[in-house]
Structures are given as C-alpha cells and as structure tokens.
Structure 1
Amino acid sequence: MKKYLFTLLSLLTLFSALQAQEVSPVTAKPSVILDGKLLLNGMDTLRKFKKEDIESATILKDRNKTALFGINDNNGLLIVFTRAKQNTAENIALKEKIAKLNIATKPDMVMKAGQTVNPSRDSIAKGTFDFVSIEKQPEFPGGLKAFYQYLSANIKYPKESARNKIQGRVFLSFIVEKDGELSNVKIMRGVSADINEEAIRVISGSPKWNPGIQFGVPVRVKYNINVNFALN
C-alpha cells in the first residue's frame, strides 16, 4: 500500500508545487494521459500502479500546452509513461510531441518528488538526466526516422539466428554524453546472444547525437530505445 501511495503522492506533490507558482491553490484533479490514452478518473487509476511501474511523468499546467493534448480546462495535465510500455510507437510519438514543447523548469529549481533543490551549474552538467524530463532531448541528426534508417542500413543479421529463424525486438538503454557520443550501451530485454551483440554493436557505432540540454547547458542523458530484428 505504501508503494501505491508513494507514486500517487509524488505526482500530486509535483503538480501542486508547480501550481503553487500561480495565485490559486489546487482545487481540482488534473487530467491524466497514461501511455497515450486519456483516462476517466485518472488519478484514481494511478493508484493501481506501484512506484517501480512508472517510468516517467510530465506535468503541464499552461492551458495553451494542455490544449494541444485535447485538454481545455484549467486543471492541468499529467502525462504518465509506464515502464512496460515506454518504448511503444505511441509513447515514442507522444514523447516527441512533449519534447517539441521545450518545457523548461526554472533555472533556480529542480523538482524531485516534491523536493526543491538549488543546483549549481556544475552539478547540473555532471548529472545524468532521463530523456523525457529535460528541456531539450538528445536527438540523432535528422530525428528518430533518420536513426532507424541508420539502423536499417547498418544492421547485419546474425547468421545463426537467421538460420534458426529467430527474430524479435531488443530493448536497450544508453547514455548520450555531453559531446553527443553514446556510452554505457546496455541490453534491457534481449532476444538471443548474437542478436543482442549486434544491437549493441550498431548502437555503439552510431554517429554523434545532438546532446540533451538542461538549463541551457549540454548534459548527460539516459535514453531508451528498441531495435527490431525481423526476417523478410
């Protein structure tokens, strides 16, 4: 029960902290989009999730921004991604839409589960951020479409897996460094040993990305992505 309450209270506290910057207090529950779907009784639905189920959450309180997601009231919007569905096509598209809003936390404040911390520029630049929680996400030159074109052109299907007709989707994480290099490439969920190795090889050999930006400076960003291995 504590785990359920922690997730819900963390989201509400973050939302309340942002609303506190306005004149009026929080008097109504925000709308909730969960994994791309607008929920009825959204905050009640979130009670079903444990802390570890939630990958990230974005909070919008500007009506001009919430209207872009079909929300036209003044109660704000929580956009929540679960770990189980964080890399679906729908969620990737939604994250791209959020990134284009260029959401920026005030430079003198970082929100962490209801706490406010006053970071130095040095500590910001040295930290590692989640790719959906920063001002500007890291990006492969040309965007995700160009990145998947790079993968398609450079993946060499492992012969043994091809012979055995093994195929599937490899989920990886990596760090986009401040200079755009990719590091710490790891398999989160794999398919087979040789396919996993090929996924790591092609991701590690990627051209430099445009780095993520937080508070106006390049930062290290943890990024999640999936690579599909399919036989024609």
Structure 2
Amino acid sequence: MKKAIMNTMIILFALAMCVGCGQSSEQKEDSVPTDVAKEKEQVQVQAEDEDTLENGEQVFRVVEVMPKFPGGDAELLKFIAKNVKYPQESQDKGEQGRVICSFVVTKDGTLTNYKVLRGISPALDQEAVRVLQMMPRWTPGTQKGEPVAVKYTVPITFKLQ
C-alpha cells in the first residue's frame, strides 16, 4: 500500500514538473527581445556558410561513398603514428590527450580547411595540423556517382609513455 502511494506521489510530482516547465518555456519564448532573435538568425547563416568552400563548392558532411585515405583507415592510422612528433615542450609539461581536427577532402582529393575542433595546447594542436597537412591526396567522396567535397574529422591522440 505504501509503495502504491509513493509511486502515485512520484508520478504526480513528475507531471507537475512537466506542466510547470512547459508553461515557463512558453513565457520565455514570448519575452525574447528582437535583438536576440536577430542574433540567432545571424548565427544560423554563419553556420551555413561553413558548408561551402571559397570557390563556392558545396561541402557535404555525409555522402554515399565517404573519402578514403590511400590504403584505407589502417594506413591512415599508420601514417599519423609514423609522422607525429611529440613536441618537447608538451612532454615537459606532461600534456597529453586527444586533438580533434577536421578538414575538407575536395573533389580532386586534395585536403583543405584544416581546423582544430577540440584541442589540448597550442603546441599539440599545431603538431596535429602539421601531420594532417602532410597527408597525400585522398580518394574523394562521391554523391550520386559524382565526386564532391566532404568534411572529414580525425582524432589524433597524444599519450606520454
């Protein structure tokens, strides 16, 4: 009996919270200043601009056939491991972790638009980008049988031994 009462109380409390939260979000939406609404529109436009290259070419995030490093993913990992040089200053500071980078594989397989999405330190971030810039031409991604530019993300892990 006590369990049934307790369960009923929990359900009623949860429903009250849901109803209360729904009302407060409606009130907040009505009171948003127009300046904030304009800023939101500008942010969305800027995000869309990142999906094109300087030459106006559209950049895809997902395509039917994703771009490939020569030899496949295993060779990509070997290439990164072979070419990464752990910066001495980062070793001295004990810095380690994962740098998440992105770049665009263009229609002809060249790489461009290198960015650090999540970094560790300037030295490790620079090293990750340096290694990516050394990569050979990739096999481009395709959409509907045509080569297209595709944004690609790669994690590079730095771990002290």
Q: TM-score, normalized by length of structure 1?
A: 0.44
* 1:126 counterpart SS class: coil
Which residue in 2 is equivalent to 1:117?
none
**Within 1, Cα distance between the matches of 2:121 and 2:58?**
33
How far does residue 188 in structure 1 lie from its aligned partner after superposition? 0.3
Partner deviation per Cα, 1:14-35 (whole Å, 9 max, x = no partner): xxxxxxxxxxxxxxxxxxxxxx
**Within 2, Cα distance between the matches of 1:190 and 1:126?**
28
CA RMSD of aligned residues (A): 1.2
Which residue in 1 is equivalent to 2:97?
168
What residue identity is the alignment partner of 1:176? V
**Within 2, Cα distance between the matches of 1:227 and 1:168?**
8
**Within 2, Cα distance between the matches of 1:205 and 1:177?**
16
* 2:154 counterpart SS class: strand
What residue identity is the alignment partner of 1:164? K
Which residue in 1 is equivalent to 2:38?
none
**Within 2, Cα distance between the matches of 1:126 and 1:182?**
14
Unaligned runs of 5+ in 2: 1-55
2:88 to 159, 167, 171: 159
* 1:197 counterpart SS class: helix
Which residue in 2 is equivalent to 1:145?
74
**Within 2, Cα distance between the matches of 1:154 and 1:165?**
20
Identity in percent: 43
**Within 2, Cα distance between the matches of 1:218 and 1:147?**
21
1:223 and 2:152 correspond: yes
How far does residue 126 in structure 1 lie from its aligned partner after superposition? 3.0
Partner deviation per Cα, 1:95-145 (whole Å, 9 max, x = no partner): xxxxxxxxxxxxxxxxxxxxxxxxxxxxxx932100xx2110001011111
Q: Which has the larger radius of gyration?
A: 2
What residue identity is the alignment partner of 2:60? F
Which structure has greater strand proportion?
1
**Within 1, Cα distance between the matches of 2:106 and 2:159?**
30
What residue identity is the alignment partner of 1:181? T
How far does residue 165 in structure 1 lie from its aligned partner after superposition? 1.4
Which residue in 1 is equivalent to 2:40?
none
Q: How many residues align?
A: 106
**Within 2, Cα distance between the matches of 1:165 and 1:144?**
29
1:126 and 2:70 correspond: no
**Within 2, Cα distance between the matches of 1:192 and 1:127?**
31
**Within 1, Cα distance between the matches of 2:64 and 2:145?**
8
Which residue in 1 is equivalent to 2:121?
192
Bigger relative CO (Cα 8 Å, ≥ 6 apart): 2
**Within 1, Cα distance between the matches of 2:76 and 2:82?**
10
**Within 2, Cα distance between the matches of 1:216 and 1:170?**
33
* 2:74 counterpart SS class: helix
